[in-house]
Chains A and B, each alone.
Chain A
C-alpha cells in the first residue's frame, strides 16, 4: 500500500511540474495531495490526513484554480536557451547524485524503532487536541499570533487604498 501511494505521489508531482497547462498541473497537485493523505493514514495520523484533504486538496486547490482562471494564463510554449538546458541537466545530475548518496546513507543507518502505543489514541483528534492544550500550549498560542501577523500583512500588501 505504501509503495502504491508513494509512487502515485511522486508520479503526479512529476506530471505537475512538467505539465504546461496550469489547470492540468493543478489537477496533478490534487492527486499528490490525496496520495500524501493516504500516507498519513498509513502512519496512523488520521487527523492530519483529514486536514490534508480538507485544507490542501480542498480549500487551497480551489484558490489555485480561482487564481488561474482570474489571471487567465495563456498556454505558452516554454523555450529554453542552450546554456540553460545545460544548467538544468547538470543540476539534475548533481542533485540526483546527492539524492542517491543520501538515500544510501539513510538506508544503512539504524533508526530508533517507533515508539508503539506510547501515546494513547495516537493521531486521533482528541489526542492531538489534548497535546495542543497541554504540552504544546505555547506553540499553539504563538501560531495564533503568527496568523494574526500574516493577516495584517496580507491586508497591508493587497488593499487598494490605505487610509
Chain B
C-alpha cells in the first residue's frame, strides 16, 4: 500500500520544537549536575524561552500588515498568525518570569530538581499549542499537555500537605472539566462531521444549521473553557489550588495558562461558532457579571494574600469576558493587550509574595506586610505599583488595559455590563488598598519587624522586568495596542 506523506512545514512549529528540545535537554542535564549546579538548569531553560520568543517574533515576517500570514500547515491542524504569535509571546514572557522567580524558591524549599523546569517547559508547549491550534484535536491535546503538567507542578512541594491536597483537587476537578470539553467536541464533530474550526463554521453557515446538538456541544465547550479560565460558577478549584501550590507556580497559573485558555476560547468561539453568537453572547454576559462580582466580593474578606490574589484573578477573568462579548476587532485587541499587562502585574505581585513569604511560605497574611514601606521602601513601592495596576489606576498598564476592555464593550452596546465592571473595580480598590495601607500606615508587629528579606539576583531581575513592563505598557501603550490590533486582522 502506498501512502502519500504530505509536505511537512516544520518551520511553522520551530518555537514549539525548540522548547521541547530544551525541556528534554534540562531533563537529561539534571542527571549530570551536582546540587549546587542546579541553578544553571533554570538559566538554560530561560535561554530556550528567549530563543523561542525570538523565533516567534520573526516567524513569517514582522508584526503589522503582513500578507504572508496566516500560514496553515499540517493539514490545516496548525496555524501561524498574528493572533497566535501575540499569545505565544505573552505565554513566553509569563514563563520566563516564572523561571526567574522560581530559582531561589526551589533552593529554599529543597526541591531544586531539573524536572521542575522541564515540566514548566512542557506546560509552555501545551499553551503554545493551544494558541496555535486551528483544529479541536490540536487544541484539546494542548490543553491536556498544559493541564497534566500543571497538576504535577501544583503538588511539587511534596512535603507540604496543602500542596498535595490542592494538586489532587485540581486533578479531580480538572479531569471532570476535561470530560465536558471532550463531550462538547464530540457533539460538535457529530453534528458537523469535522473538527476543523474553519470547517465547522463553514458547515454551519452552508447548512444554515441550528441543530440543538450543536448548541449543546457549544454549551459543554463553554463549561470546559469556563473552568480553564476560572470563571464563576466553575471557579471552585481556584482559591484552594492557588493557595496550596508553590508560590511561583501560583504566579504562573494565574498568568500564562489563563492567557492560553483565553486564546483557545476566543479562537474556538469566534472562528468556529460565529453563527451561534446570538446564543453564546448571552451566556457569557451572565458569566462575566457573576465572575467579576463573586471574585471581588469574596476577595474582600480574605486575609491570606495568596488567596486574595486568587480571587482577584477570578475577577480579572471576568473583566476579560466583558470584552469577549463585543467580539469585534477592538474587543479582541483589548483582550490581547490586557493579557499582556496582566502577565506583568500579576507575576510581579506574586514575586513580592514569594519574597515576603520566606522559607516555607509562612508569611502570606496581610499582617506580615505591616511596616514594609519603612524597612524595604523599594519593595513596597513595587508592590504598590502592581496593586494599583491590578486595581486599574493610571499611569499603570492595568488602567489602560481596563480602559480598552470597557470601551470595546461600550462600543458594542453593553453599557449595563460595563457599569457592573466599573463598580467592581471600585470594590476591588478596597482589598488592594488593604495591603498598601498595611505596608505604609501600620506599625509592624514585633515578630515581623526583625525579619530580613532575602533578594536573589534572578528575583531582582524579574521584579525589574515586571515593573518596567507595567510602566512601559501603561505609559506608552500605542505600540502594543497597534500590535494587538494587527493580531486581529489575520483572524
Does B152 make an interface contact (CB < 8 A)? yes
CB-CB contacts below 8 Å: A69-114 with B: 102, 105-106, 108-112
Which residues of A sit under 8 angstroms from B75, Cβ to Cβ?
A: 134-137
* Given A135-B75, A152-B119, also A111-B213 (CB < 8 A): yes
Does A1 make an interface contact (CB < 8 A)? no
Does B148 make an interface contact (CB < 8 A)? yes
| A132-163 to B contact mask, C-beta < 8 Å, 1/0 | 01111111001101101110111111000010
Does B446 make an interface contact (CB < 8 A)? no
Main secondary structure of the interface of A (DSSP, over half): helix
Q: Is the CB of B193 within 8 A of A152?
A: no
Which residues of A sit under 8 angstroms from B24, Cβ to Cβ?
A: 148
Q: Is the CB of B190 within 8 A of A111?
A: yes
Which residues of A sit under 8 angstroms from B129, Cβ to Cβ?
A: 142
Binds A, one of B3-11, B81-89, B284-292, B352-360: B3-11
CA distance A36 to B474 in the complex (A): 56
Closest B residue, CB atoms, query A114: B193
Which residues of B sit under 8 angstroms from A19, Cβ to Cβ?
A: none
CA distance A134 to B2 in the complex (A): 12
Q: Is the CB of A106 within 8 A of B213?
A: yes
Measured CB to CB, the closest approach of chain A to B157, in angstroms, equals 11
Measured CB to CB, the closest approach of chain A to B437, in angstroms, equals 41
Does A130 make an interface contact (CB < 8 A)? yes
Q: Is the CB of A145 within 8 A of B125?
A: yes
Q: Is the CB of A135 within 8 A of B119?
A: no
* Given A139-B138, A156-B152, also A130-B3 (CB < 8 A): yes
Binds A, one of B139-147, B332-340, B418-426, B462-470: B139-147
Which residues of A sit under 8 angstroms from B216, Cβ to Cβ?
A: 102, 105-106
Does B78 make an interface contact (CB < 8 A)? yes
User: Which of A130, A143, A150, A153 has the largest count of B CB atoms less than 10 A from its CB?
Assistant: A153
Q: Is the CB of A156 within 8 A of B74?
A: no
Which residues of B sit under 8 angstroms from A24, Cβ to Cβ?
A: none
CB-CB contacts below 8 Å: A12-30 with B: none
Q: Is the CB of B5 within 8 A of A146?
A: no
Does A119 make an interface contact (CB < 8 A)? no
Q: Is the CB of B211 within 8 A of A109?
A: yes
Q: Is the CB of A137 within 8 A of B119?
A: no
Q: Is the CB of A134 within 8 A of B3?
A: yes
Q: Is the CB of B148 within 8 A of A150?
A: yes
Q: Is the CB of B155 within 8 A of A157?
A: yes
CA distance A142 to B139 in the complex (A): 10
CA distance A155 to B3 in the complex (A): 38
* Given A153-B151, A157-B152, also A134-B6 (CB < 8 A): yes
Q: Is the CB of A108 within 8 A of B78?
A: no
Closest B residue, CB atoms, query A153: B152
Which residues of B sit under 8 angstroms from A136, Cβ to Cβ?
A: 75, 77, 137
Does A115 make an interface contact (CB < 8 A)? yes
Which residues of B sit under 8 angstroms from A133, Cβ to Cβ?
A: 3, 5
* Given A133-B5, A146-B141, also A162-B155 (CB < 8 A): no
Which residues of A sit under 8 angstroms from B344, Cβ to Cβ?
A: none
Does B314 make an interface contact (CB < 8 A)? no
Measured CB to CB, the closest approach of chain B to A43, in angstroms, equals 12
CA distance A136 to B156 in the complex (A): 33
CA distance A157 to B152 in the complex (A): 7
Does B191 make an interface contact (CB < 8 A)? yes
With beta carbons under 8 angstroms apart, the residue of B4, B78, B137, B141 that contacts A134 is B4
Q: Is the CB of B149 within 8 A of A149?
A: yes
CA distance A153 to B156 in the complex (A): 9
Closest A residue, CB atoms, query B210: A109
Closest B residue, CB atoms, query A127: B1
Does B45 make an interface contact (CB < 8 A)? no
With beta carbons under 8 angstroms apart, the residue of B13, B111, B144, B212 that contacts A108 is B212
Which residues of B sit under 8 angstroms from A142, Cβ to Cβ?
A: 129, 138, 141-142, 145
Q: Is the CB of B119 within 8 A of A149?
A: yes
Measured CB to CB, the closest approach of chain B to A91, in angstroms, equals 15
Measured CB to CB, the closest approach of chain A to B234, in angstroms, equals 17
Closest A residue, CB atoms, query B211: A109
Does B118 make an interface contact (CB < 8 A)? yes
CA distance A134 to B4 in the complex (A): 7
Does B115 make an interface contact (CB < 8 A)? yes
Q: Is the CB of A137 within 8 A of B8?
A: yes
CA distance A155 to B192 in the complex (A): 40
Q: Is the CB of A138 within 8 A of B144?
A: no
Does B113 make an interface contact (CB < 8 A)? yes
With beta carbons under 8 angstroms apart, the residue of A106, A135, A156, A162 that contacts B212 is A106
Q: Is the CB of B148 within 8 A of A153?
A: yes
Closest B residue, CB atoms, query A158: B158
Which residues of A sit under 8 angstroms from B152, Cβ to Cβ?
A: 152-154, 156-157
Q: Is the CB of B145 within 8 A of A109?
A: no
Which residues of B sit under 8 angstroms from A139, Cβ to Cβ?
A: 77, 137-138, 141
Closest A residue, CB atoms, query B114: A152
Measured CB to CB, the closest approach of chain B to A162, in angstroms, equals 6
Measured CB to CB, the closest approach of chain B to A34, in angstroms, equals 21
CA distance A158 to B27 in the complex (A): 17
User: Which of B24, B74, B113 has the largest count of A CB atoms less than 10 A from its CB?
Assistant: B74
Q: Is the CB of A143 within 8 A of B27?
A: no
Q: Is the CB of A153 within 8 A of B145?
A: no
Q: A111-B191, A135-B75, A157-B158 are in contact. List 5 more A-B contacts (CB 8 A).
A: A135-B6, A135-B77, A138-B78, A142-B145, A154-B152
Q: What residues make up the interface of A, taking CB atoms closer than 8 Å to B?
A: 102, 105-106, 108-112, 115, 126, 130, 133-139, 142-143, 145-146, 148-150, 152-157, 162
13 A/B residue pairs, CB under 8 Å, sorted by A:
A102-B216, A109-B212, A110-B211, A130-B1, A130-B3, A135-B75, A135-B77, A136-B77, A142-B142, A145-B20, A145-B125, A146-B148, A148-B122
Of all A-B residue pairs in the complex, the 9 with the closest CB atoms, nearest first, are: A153-B152, A105-B212, A149-B122, A138-B74, A142-B141, A135-B75, A109-B211, A146-B145, A139-B137
